[in-house]
Structure 1
Amino acid sequence: MSHSTSNYLILITVIVVAGISQGLLLPVLSIFLEQKGVSPGLNGLNAAALYVGSFAMTLVAERLLGAIGFKKLIIGGLLFVMIPLILFPYFPDIKIWFILRLVVGIGDSALHYSAQLWVLLVTAPEKRGRYISLYGMSYGLGFSIGPLGIKLLGFGDAVPFWVLFVCMAAVLVLVLMKLPDTKPEKAEHGQLPERRFRRSLAWAWYALLPALLYGYMEAGMNSNFPVYGLRIGLDANQISSLLPFVGIGGLFLQLPLGMLSDRYGRKQMLMFAGITGGIIFMLVPVAGTHFWWTLVLLTIAGGLVGSFFSLGLAYAADILPKALLPAANVVASFHFTIGSIIGPNLGGQVINWISPGSMFILLGFMYLLFGAAGVLFRRKPMLESVVK
């Protein structure tokens, strides 16, 4: 038990630093580009490179994991994030940044896929919801710490990147020394991949959609909120203080929402969180430059939708046979990546062409639509006997 617990804690540490890297890179690079006079649209496009890399990794992650195992994939992921990290401040060229972000995206996706699937496969069904919630909280914790790196820019443009590099190097040493070298069971690959992906999507589409919305919200907020803030008159310091509260809300509400979903059903909680969170996001532009109102709204909205990814995965684990979980995990990662690519781009375009506040109206509307769509989703009766 203590051995598996130590493995779980190492995976959690890996996910915290992965969260920090994403939480830091998006806003810091967005601020650099906005200060250089780069348009929000091009800024968003550059940020999306991270997710193009993630997308590419998602396509090969399952086969790669089967070939090299969990430990090697995590080590590769850490190196792919760390090396570009220290190159960003020394090559301030938008084209080079696009390539560096692409590499970071590949590494980030490798870390997520391997750690997430490991947690899903080794956790007993009755503890799965709790463990996935804690996993989601760990990522949220890292993601909330990340934007605080903006404050380190005062010591020099390269400082935030070097601080993160040292943290990740320490985690790499921990993984090398302590994590066992294991591979997923071959039995998981019994059915044809196409059938597995198609079935998991057909049977659990409502449980896999939250990953797309979560990716859209997270990447869109971190890339577009600094631009939104600067456009409406907030300063960089206020923006760096406000941004973590989207993630902090998720930290506070992730476990309570997970526990409530055990009691009242995951679909009911996803619908409630989607509709309420959507309405609150739509109220953010009303707060204008009022710091405390904006902070409260971002915390509550972020808290409600911050557990979407983990709650969706837990719901998928409830309604799908275990053999389909690795496939569902790939579909969820795929959705997350698509949402993350669309988020910064669509957000950047509506800020440019309509108004800064329209990014929140659009975001809120998407969550409302998802909440309402829950009425259409019915669990397939034939799965009832298979899952339990």
Structure 2
Amino acid sequence: MATPEGTSRTGIIIAALATVGACDIAFGLTLQLIPLLMNERGWPAWAIGLNAAMGPIGILVAGPFLPRIISRTGTKRTVLVIIGVLVVSLAAISSLPVWMWFPLRFFFGLSTGALFVVSEAWILSAATSENRGRVMGLYTSLLSVTFATGPLILPWTGIHGFLPWGIGIVCILLAILPLAFVKASDGQFQRHEGSTGFFGFVRRAPMLLYAIGAATLFDNVLISFFTIYGIRNGLDLEVASRVLGIGIIGNLLLSYPLGWLADHWSRKAVMYLSAMLTVVLSLSLLVVIGHWSVWPVMMVLAPMAFATYVVGLATMGDMFKGSDLMAGTAAVAAMWGVGGLIGPPVAGAAIDLAGIDAMPLTLAFFYVLLLAGLFVTGGRLVRGAPRG
């Protein structure tokens, strides 16, 4: 990455991690706070689900336009505008009627997606081919921790009053601080003749996007249905929630080592290995759910599933640069929208059709599709890349 004088690659990575981590705390907090408030105020489940879908819809709608907007506006200025929109959105949600939360949730999701687009582009550009897997492993670990921190605030603040909203707003405002110390060069992200663009990236890297999409589908289905799966298999609510939480600890502990393995061994091999282990461990839930062994299974399952995200991002950083990389991070953000909109309905329909055991089968199915695609393409995540 061409950085301005006095600005180090490490400095840009740290600033981007700090910025996105602070905002991710607020994102995790609102993801639980808003449904709880809507439920308390008597809104039906379908309306709560529709409100939750507004965020992914915002990400999907914005994705194709973000690379061009960021190219014209500049990354740092874009992030400052995003932070302003996030603060205004949270302040408005805290004080306006619930029906207004739907468009506000749309803009909150759109802005959050844009923040991830810029942050991931900064991080991938500042990392090198020698350490990109480890850096993205660290990034994934950070997101696991900060996202989980948000809901942990609610038992302390409660869901009433301005306090939980205020804490979310403060976290977002804190994201400005790292930006004051590091300057990011925008010249490399300027669009030029021959730039891939959003849809051009999708055409060039469908397998890379599905590798990342498999992780987003897995994440949304696991969060939506694992607790229900545990309860219907005899676990207490508290135990089922803690088993789900152990997956977050697994991501924290194992994402960086998996990134290290991708750097020192083979990105392709880690992709194959993690996908195969995700299939095996997902299916093993059918056997271990009522046994103590569910704890180590879940601790390994979650980071293995997310390893495809780590390797996919690292590969994207290896293969794409400048405005093409920005288009790629926009497409990745859109995959989170796809995961949020498709994953839970698909799993819910499978459960209605075949019973609760369809949940782990659905998780495995996402990665069976990934393995089939990898075998067909010879492990190439990007079209035109060597089979190597």
Q: Which TM-score band applies after superposition, normalised by the shorter structure?
A: 0.7 to 0.9
Match of 1:249 in 2: 250
1:124 & 1:160 partners in 2: Cα distance?
39
Contact 2:231 2:237 (C-alpha < 8 Å) held by counterparts: yes
Whole-Å separation in 1 of the counterparts to 2:263 and 2:36: 41
CA gap of 1:213–1:24, structure 2 versus 1, over 3 A, is farther
Shift in Å, 1:82 = 2.9
Match of 2:133 in 1: 129
Larger mean Cα displacement after TM superposition, 66-75 or 202-211: 202-211
Counterpart in 2 of 1:178?
Answer: 181
Q: Deviations over 1:52-74 (max 9, x none)?
A: 11112212211111111111211
Aligned to 2:131, the other structure's residue is in SS state helix
* One-letter amino acid of the structure 2 residue matched with residue 358 of structure 1: A
Per-residue CA shift, 1:213-263, capped at 9, x if unaligned? 122222333344455567667666556544433332122121211122233
Tell me the equivalent position of 1:220: 221
| Structure 1 residue 159 displacement after superposition | 4.2
Who is 1:362 aligned against?
362
Choose the corresponding residue for 1:71, options 65, 76, 80.
76
Aligned to 1:161: 165
Matching residue of 1:53: 58
| TM-superposed deviation, 1:384 | 5.0
The answer as to 2:147 corresponding to 1:146 is no
1:85 match? 90
| Counterpart Cα distance in 2 of 1:349 and 1:160 | 34
Q: Secondary structure at the match of 1:178?
A: coil
**Match of 1:117, SS?**
helix
One-letter code of the match for 1:334?
A
Percent of matched pairs sharing the same residue: 23
Q: CA deviation at 1:192?
A: 4.9
Deviations 1:274-318 (A, max 9, x none): 12113323343555566x554433322111112322210212334
Match of 2:336? 336
Question: What is the rounded CA distance, in whole Å, between the counterparts of 2:322 and 2:112 in structure 1?
Answer: 25
Amino acid at match of 1:96: M
Displacement of 1:341: 1.9
One-letter amino acid matched to 2:12: N
Q: 2:309 corresponds to which residue?
A: 309
- The structure-2 alpha-carbon separation of the partners of 1:355 and 1:382, relative to structure 1 and needing over 3 Å to count, comes to closer
State the Cα distance separating 1:38 from its structure 2 match.
Answer: 6.3
Distance 1:382 1:40 in 2: 46
Q: How far, CA to CA, are the matches of 2:260 and 2:46 in structure 1?
A: 40
- Mapping for residues 231-246 of structure 1, pairs under 5 Å: 237-238=238-239, 241-246=242-247
- 1:226 and 1:239 in contact (8 A); partners too: yes
Shift of 1:366: 0.9
Q: Does 1:101 align with 2:102?
A: no
Contact kept? 1:84, 1:103, Cα under 8 Å: yes
Alignment RMSD (CA, Å) = 3.5
The runs of 5 or more residues in structure 2 that have no matched partner are: none
Q: How far is the alpha carbon of 1:114 from its aligned partner?
A: 0.6
When residues 320 and 64 of structure 1 are mapped into structure 2, their CA distance, relative to the original with a 3 A threshold, is closer
Aligned counterparts of 1:221 and 1:28: Cα–Cα separation in 2: 19
Report how many residues are paired: 381
1:163–1:186 distance in 2 versus 1, CA, 3 Å: closer
Q: Aligned partners of 1:274, 1:353: CA distance in 2, in Å? A: 26
- Cα 1:256/1:91, change in 2 over 3 Å: same
Cα pair distance change 1:308/1:161, threshold 3 Å? farther
Unaligned runs of 5+ in 1: none
Distance 1:244 1:38, change over 3 A: farther
